[in-house]
């Protein structure tokens, strides 16, 4: 059985032939042809591990729909053209427990990483971050994660993994030496317990608050990247609740005091320019909770900005 299923038809929405959009250039692909693209999209329609409001299982389709209508041209980088779509990880929505969903996602992510292509995962909830990144933990190389998030997501696992446990799972993984470095960018005051903040500090991690991003977004991302100075590989995650609730109401836990879309886009372009980045995801987009598609539009543009620097532009 295929690890991926296609359910989205890419096509542009503009009647103007000069308006090249992602819908005009993204091509369906499979594992045999992924090496023909600079990056490949893969959807993960699952929200069985959410702490809070559910709805993120519909995120991949909403992000694709919004991305299809975005023009491919970036003023500095030029047009983006080399993007494939592997479809959605098969059977995720039927998973009866979180460990099963993580196993399915891990199998799919491992197959993608083994093809030496660049994956862009569309969530889905944050629990699958563990599955998306764990294959990058090896004895031969060190791994760092830059997580744009209102929360640290290093909760202890109780009965089962949740959307709040993925980085604790990566730290505790028996693959390689576990996660080497973790940096959270956009963390909100009063959203994480003192114990979990202490855990990140004890592990040598970096916490860059939303206030620090607001003061100077370039300096904020430089701080995160500096914490990655000794790692070989970097994985980048965007939980859309890092954005202020005014910019992203359609998430599991929207709160005030977050960063702006412009700050996020600028930081993503700076991160994507690092040659060590080996994977990217946008998670926790819940269309049924959204207002005027603001969250899906922000997530889709985050993908576009990241790809513009990654190598998709000319």
The bridge status of strand 83-89 relative to strand 39-44 is parallel
**pLDDT tens-place string over residues 189-218:** 999 999 999 999 999 999 999 999 999 999
Tokens of 10: 């890419």
- Kindly report the CATH number assigned to the domain that includes residue 167: 3.40.800.10
Compute CA distances 228 → 167, 182, 205, 277, whole Å: 16, 8, 9, 11
Residue 312: pLDDT band with limits 50, 70, 90: very low
Mean residue pLDDT of the chain comes to 95
How many Cβ atoms are within 10 Å of 29's Cβ, its own excluded? 21
- For residues 26 and 83, the answer to whether their CB atoms sit within 8 Å is yes
**pLDDT tens-place string over residues 270-305:** 999 999 999 999 999 999 999 999 999 999 999 999
Query: How much is the average pLDDT of 5-23?
Result: 95
| Sign, Cα dihedral of 260, 266, 272, 274 | negative
What is the 3-class SS of 110-138, one letter each residue?
A: HHHHHCCCCEEEEECCHHHHHHHHHHHCC
Q: Per the structure, how many domains does the chain have?
A: 1
- Could you identify the residue written with the tokens 């819908």? 23
Predicted TM-score (pTM) of the model is 0.96
Q: Which of 27-31, 92-96, 203-207 has the lowest mean pLDDT?
A: 92-96
| Sign, Cα dihedral of 255, 256, 259, 262 | positive
How far is 144 from 213, CA to CA, in rounded Å?
20
What is the 3-class SS of 8-31, one letter each residue?
A: CCCCCCCCCCCCCEHHHHCEECCC
Residue 250: pLDDT band with limits 50, 70, 90: very high
Closest C-alpha to 235, from 86, 85, 132:
132
Task: Give me the percent of the chain exceeding a pLDDT of 90.
Answer: 91
Residue 139: the pLDDT is 85
Give the burial class of 79: count Cβ atoms within 10 A of its Cβ; 0-12 exposed, 13-18 middle, 19 or more buried: middle
- For residues 169 and 259, the answer to whether their CB atoms sit within 8 Å is no
How far is 66 from 71, CA to CA, in rounded Å?
11
Nearby residues of 201 by Cβ (< 8 Å), 6 or more positions away: 207
Compute CA distances 133 → 137, 215, 219, whole Å: 8, 30, 26
Residue 314: the pLDDT is 38
Residue 103: the pLDDT is 95
Residue 1: pLDDT band with limits 50, 70, 90: very low
Residue 2: pLDDT band with limits 50, 70, 90: low
Tokens of 274: 């690092």
- For residues 214 and 226, the answer to whether their CB atoms sit within 8 Å is no
Query: How much is the average pLDDT of 232-259?
Result: 97
Does pLDDT of 313 surpass 50? no
Domain extent, residue 277, equals 4-310
Q: Helix, strand or coil for residue 278?
A: strand
**pLDDT tens-place string over residues 39-82:** 999 999 999 999 889 999 999 999 999 999 999 999 999 999 89
Give the burial class of 65: count Cβ atoms within 10 A of its Cβ; 0-12 exposed, 13-18 middle, 19 or more buried: middle
Residue 53: the pLDDT is 92
**pLDDT tens-place string over residues 100-121:** 999 999 999 999 999 989 999 9
Closest C-alpha to 50, from 129, 168, 147:
129
Q: Helix, strand or coil for residue 107?
A: helix
DSSP 230: T
């Amino acid at each position: 059985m295929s690890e991926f299923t296609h359910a989205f038809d890419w096509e542009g929405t503009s009647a103007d032939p000069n308006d090249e959009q992602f819908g005009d250039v993204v091509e369906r692909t499979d594992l045999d042809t992924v090496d023909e693209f600079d990056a490949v999209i893969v959807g993960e329609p699952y929200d069985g591990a959410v702490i809070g409001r559910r709805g993120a299982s519909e995120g991949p389709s909403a992000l694709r729909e919004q991305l299809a209508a975005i023009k491919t041209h970036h003023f500095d980088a030029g047009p983006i053209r080399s993007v494939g779509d592997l479809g959605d990880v098969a059977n995720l929505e039927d998973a009866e427990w979180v460990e099963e969903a993580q196993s399915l996602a891990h199998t799919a992510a491992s197959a993608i990483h083994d093809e030496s292509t660049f994956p862009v995962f569309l969530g889905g909830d944050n629990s699958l971050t563990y599955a998306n990144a764990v294959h990058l933990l090896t004895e031969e190389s060190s791994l760092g994660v830059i997580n744009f998030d209102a929360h640290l997501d290093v909760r202890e696992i109780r009965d089962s993994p949740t959307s709040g446990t993925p980085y604790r799972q990566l730290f505790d993984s028996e693959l390689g030496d576990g996660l080497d470095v973790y940096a959270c960018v956009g963390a909100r005051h009063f959203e994480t317990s003192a114990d979990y903040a202490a855990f990140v500090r004890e592990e040598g991690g970096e916490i860059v608050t939303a206030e620090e991003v607001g003061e100077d977004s370039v300096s904020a991302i430089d701080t995160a990247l500096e914490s990655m100075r000794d790692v070989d590989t970097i994985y980048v995650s965007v939980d859309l609740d890092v954005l202020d609730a005014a910019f992203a109401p359609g998430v599991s836990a929207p709160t005030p005091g977050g960063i702006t879309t412009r700050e996020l886009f600028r930081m993503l372009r700076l991160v994507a320019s690092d040659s060590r980045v080996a994977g990217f995801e946008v998670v926790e987009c819940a269309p049924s909770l959204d207002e005027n598609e603001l969250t899906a539009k922000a997530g889709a543009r985050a993908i576009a900005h990241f790809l513009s620097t990654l190598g998709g532009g000319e």
